[in-house]
Amino acid sequence: MRAIRYELGSDQILTLTIDMPGQSANTMNMAFREALNETVNKVQGDLENIRGIIITSAKKTFFAGGDLKELHKVTRDDAEAFEGMVNGLKAQMRALETCGKPVVAAINGTALGGGFEIALACHHRIVLDNNSIQLGLPEVTLGLLPGGGGTQRLPRMIGLEAAFPLLMEGKKLRPSAALKAGIIDELAVSPEDMIAKARAFIDANPKCQQPWDKKGFKLPGGAPHHPAMAQKLAIAPAMLKQKTKGCYPAPERIMAAAVEGAQVGFDNGSLIETRYFAELVIGQVAKNMTGTFWFQLNDINAGGSRPEGVEKESFKKVGVLGAGMMGAGIAYSTANRGIEVVLKDISLESAEKGKSYSENLLAKQVSRGRMTEEEKVQILGRIKASDSAADLEGCDLVIEAVFEDSELKAKVTAEAEPKLVNNGIFASNTSTIPITQLAEASAKPENFIGLHFFSPVDKMMLVEIIVGEKTSDETLARAFDYVQQIGKIPVVVNDSRGFFTSRVFGTFVNEGISMLGEGIHPSSIENAGLLAGMPVGPLSISDEVSMTLMQHIRSQSKKDMEAAGGTWKPHPAEAIIDQMVNDHGRKGKAAGAGFYEYPAKGKKYLWPELETLYVDSEEARKAKLRELKDRILFIQAIETVRCLEEGVLRTVEDANIGSIFGIGYAPWTGGAIQFINQYGVRAFAERARELTAAHGERFAPPALLLEHAEQDKPFI
Ligand code: NAI
């Protein structure tokens, strides 16, 4: 079977149907390039007999985009050949675009990245009006740029300003939004309607040229040298840098390609784009991001850490105990995906209050036009607020999110378990108590598991699944199915205090706080966090979590460690936390005072007294940004290796994805383990030794790291 079907009708309309053999979706790989080459040659031979061309797809989607497997392998040595290959492919698209006959994209399904770039190279784009279709150029989210002409055609179509967010944030649009944005031309109600509209366009436009190929073409919204645009472009790179903190080369190169390209003719612009594209493709950040956000995430989503041999389960009724902040969020996320929910609290009033959280979130979506009133009513109708355990009868799964108290959790476990269906699962959303310990209250510890959600539940994509000592593989597999059913990302970890995410997160905040104790300026600490790529600074996030909670977790961990015969090694951050809470009454954001001041009106700002209390001008002056950034990224990566070494983490995929989606570990790194791999494992261990000498044993490379460092062997 050919990758592109060539059907020239008696009406002289040529239909090119992309249908790549042996693939569920069309991608821009070698087979496609060859087929396109052949097709374009044939078109040129047949041109006299062709009135117009319709490009469509035989797959469910229109075209999936570049072949990431191929891109991921390109190295610096291949750069020149890669550029040649890209320019060759673009020349074929350009040949169709300039053939003089109308070329219409009949977009029957999702068209992203390279797929949407094919559509952009056509003279007219018609899309099936189906809300499951997505259109856009999301390359930037993988550290890449649209290298198939996207950075050149989109600004020429809708102007630089309108194109920037689509190119630099990788926004995906539904058909109606795409029409509004001016990146497609028409919607069609059915495939037949789409083809009829394509034919009508061809009939009405026997000769076709892109606007940018016409004499006197002016860039919509103004060319870069236009005074109004020049003013905006003068500050645009600074604004971008403020967002990327210099960690992400892709949006910077996209802006450069678009703006530089807009100052020359299309073909030269296209060459500029290819150069930047090649630079990104061979660069480390794209490798990190593609590796983790594409390959590793796909592995996880395909069930990579789900035990095999257990039939996939579809959950129908889920009980949620505790309608507080977490319970309310879990109920929302579950009902939103079509599952019946019983939301139980100690009083009907509290349960209703938890349900109103969903009502507010849904109402917001209705007001933004993302949901209809009926859909809202339907979702809300799935949540039954209750104060009675009897309502839990027939649940496939019960998740408890009551106060963090072992005795209370034991009580609600005993109360709810008998109501579960035969073989039902009981899950705890505890953030700190070991699952094995909580499972002691269960009559069926093999059906007991941890489902650790993150706050706010409706926004946070990750769920950390915690496997207790007695949790069965079957329970794990089914819990995995539930997490996927509600559209979240499951990572699987073994039981240990703090599990994986909380443990690593603790090292981040403690490192930042100990810097303050050393006399480093709090602004430098916060900036180092942000410049390392963390979404928030360590002091800021400490306030969010609250320092009293940190004290509480510490005293519990200390008690447990001593009970097990161990000795607690105090962290330098502890003294600062105790001073903040005990001496200054500054517990964190919820209490209205922490490392930051929280004025009733206006933005929070660092508590000025921190400077008097802690900053040592000599230390502050000596502090090097690189050292502070390294400390922040290294301490978390080292703790992650410890989790792998201790078997808390089961896979590198879970480590990378869990660190980014759970803790916000700098996404440019591709995750806490990929940070080590890309740094060079041996070099990382050496740097860890330097940090140990300068800052203490907590940076000491664990045995597993040394083992890898000896052979300079990446973690896979
Ligand atoms: P919360 O204090 O907002 O809510 C707890 C709810 O449980 C309250 O509404 C309370 O009335 C209810 N409750 C108490 N006894 C009950 C009973 N016998 N039956 C039914 N409901 C009862 O607490 P939050 O923050 O929602 O935390 C809940 C659990 O989730 C805790 O174990 C916490 O450690 C864990 N967690 C919290 C996270 C957070 O960011 N707050 C993150 C991940 C886990």
1 pLDDT more than 60: no
Report the nearest-CA residue for atom 1 of ligand 1.
324
Q: What is the CATH number of the domain that holds 254?
A: 3.90.226.10
Residue type, 389: A
Residues 443 and 333 in one domain: yes
Determine the distance separating the centroid of ligand 1 and the alpha carbon of 45, expressed in angstroms: 71
Closest CA to 304 of 491, 499, 471: 491
**231 in a structural domain:** yes
pLDDT at position 705 is: 98
Choosing from 83, 97, 117, 511, which is the catalytic residue? 117
Distance CA 551, CA 587 (A): 10
Q: How far is CA 324 from each of CA 321, 343, 349, 417, rounded to the nearest angstrom?
A: 9, 10, 12, 21
Q: Give me the torsion for CA of 209, 215, 221, 222, rounded to 10°.
A: 150
Determine the distance separating the centroid of ligand 1 and the alpha carbon of 329, expressed in angstroms: 11
Distance CA 628, CA 539 (A): 14
Residues 507 and 488 in one domain: no
pLDDT at position 370 is: 86
pLDDT at position 551 is: 95
- pLDDT tens-digit map of 87-138: 999 999 999 999 999 999 999 999 999 999 999 999 999 999 999 999 999 9
Report the nearest-CA residue for atom 9 of ligand 1.
324
Distance CA 557, CA 575 (A): 16
Closest CA to 401 of 389, 392, 413: 413
Determine the distance separating the centroid of ligand 1 and the alpha carbon of 510, expressed in angstroms: 25
256 lines ligand 1 (CB under 6 A): no
Residues 398, 424 contacting (CB under 8 angstroms): yes
446 lines ligand 1 (CB under 6 A): no
455 lines ligand 1 (CB under 6 A): yes
Q: Which two tokens stand for residue 265?
A: 């003719």
**DSSP single-letter state for residue 469:** T
Q: Give me the torsion for CA of 417, 421, 425, 429, rounded to 10°.
A: -60
**CB-based contacts of 391, cutoff 8 Å, min separation 6:** 319, 342, 344, 384
Residues 402, 322 contacting (CB under 8 angstroms): yes
Quickly state the pLDDT bin for 561 (edges 50, 70, 90). Answer: confident
401 lines ligand 1 (CB under 6 A): yes
Question: Does the annotation mark 70 as catalytic?
Answer: no
The number of the ligand 1 atom at minimal distance from the alpha carbon of 328 is 26
**421 in a structural domain:** yes
Residues 121 and 196 in one domain: yes
Quickly state the pLDDT bin for 171 (edges 50, 70, 90). Answer: very high
501 lines ligand 1 (CB under 6 A): no
Structural domain ending residue among the three candidates 439, 464, 495 = 495
- pLDDT tens-digit map of 329-347: 999 999 999 999 999 999 9
The number of the ligand 1 atom at minimal distance from the alpha carbon of 411 is 18
Mutate to test the pocket of ligand 1, among 321, 330, 355, 403 (most ligand atoms within 8 A of CB): 403
Residues 64, 133 contacting (CB under 8 angstroms): no
65 pLDDT more than 90: no
Residue type, 538: P
**292 in a structural domain:** no
pLDDT at position 312 is: 95
**527 in a structural domain:** yes
Report the nearest-CA residue for atom 28 of ligand 1.
401
pLDDT at position 498 is: 85
Distance CA 9, CA 52 (A): 10
Structural domain ending residue among the three candidates 265, 282, 299 = 282
639 lines ligand 1 (CB under 6 A): no
Quickly state the pLDDT bin for 369 (edges 50, 70, 90). Answer: confident
Residues 64 and 89 in one domain: yes
DSSP string, 329-394: HHHHHHHTTT-EEEEE-SSHHHHHHHHHHHHHHHHHHHHTTSS-HHHHHHHHHTEEEES-GGGGTT
pLDDT at position 496 is: 86
The domain containing residue 616 runs over which residues?
Answer: 502-711
pLDDT at position 620 is: 85
DSSP string, 92-113: HHHHHHTSSS-EEEEE-S-EET
What's the structural domain count of the chain?
3
pLDDT > 70 fraction of the chain, expressed in percent and rounded: 100
Q: Which two tokens stand for residue 279?
A: 């630079």
Determine the distance separating the centroid of ligand 1 and the alpha carbon of 300, expressed in angstroms: 28
Residues 542 and 482 in one domain: no
> Average pLDDT of 182-207?
98
345 lines ligand 1 (CB under 6 A): yes
First-last CA distance in the chain: 37
Residues 259, 160 contacting (CB under 8 angstroms): yes
Residues 400 and 534 in one domain: no
Determine the distance separating the centroid of ligand 1 and the alpha carbon of 322, expressed in angstroms: 6
Q: How far is CA 473 from each of CA 305, 328, 440, rounded to the nearest angstrom?
A: 11, 28, 18
Residues 508, 637 contacting (CB under 8 angstroms): no
Q: Give me the torsion for CA of 506, 508, 509, 512, rounded to 10°.
A: 150
pLDDT at position 560 is: 83
408 lines ligand 1 (CB under 6 A): yes
Residues 703 and 633 in one domain: yes
Question: Does the annotation mark 34 as catalytic?
Answer: no
Quickly state the pLDDT bin for 73 (edges 50, 70, 90). Answer: very high
Q: Which two tokens stand for residue 611?
A: 């400077």
Residues 482 and 518 in one domain: no
Determine the distance separating the centroid of ligand 1 and the alpha carbon of 542, expressed in angstroms: 20
pLDDT at position 570 is: 93
Determine the distance separating the centroid of ligand 1 and the alpha carbon of 503, expressed in angstroms: 20
User: Can you point out the beta strands (E) in 65-198?
Assistant: 65-66, 103-107, 111-112, 124-128, 135-136, 172-173, 186-188
Entry pTM: 0.94
- Cα 39 from chain centre: 37
Q: What is the CATH number of the domain that holds 514?
A: 1.10.1040.50
**215 in a structural domain:** no
Residues 121 and 245 in one domain: yes
**624 in a structural domain:** yes
Residues 278, 642 contacting (CB under 8 angstroms): no
438 pLDDT more than 80: yes
pLDDT at position 619 is: 85
Which strand (E) or helix (H) includes residue 537?
Answer: none
pLDDT at position 639 is: 98
**355 in a structural domain:** yes
Mutate to test the pocket of ligand 1, among 386, 415, 431, 433 (most ligand atoms within 8 A of CB): 431
Q: What is the CATH number of the domain that holds 438?
A: 3.40.50.720
pLDDT at position 564 is: 87
**250 in a structural domain:** yes
Residues 484 and 509 in one domain: no
Structural domain ending residue among the three candidates 474, 495, 516 = 495
Residues 379 and 488 in one domain: yes
322 pLDDT more than 60: yes
Determine the distance separating the centroid of ligand 1 and the alpha carbon of 400, expressed in angstroms: 8
> Average pLDDT of 227-237?
94
Choosing from 139, 252, 417, 511, which is the catalytic residue? 139
pLDDT > 90 fraction of the chain, expressed in percent and rounded: 95
Residues 16 and 93 in one domain: yes
Coil, helix or strand at residue 532: helix
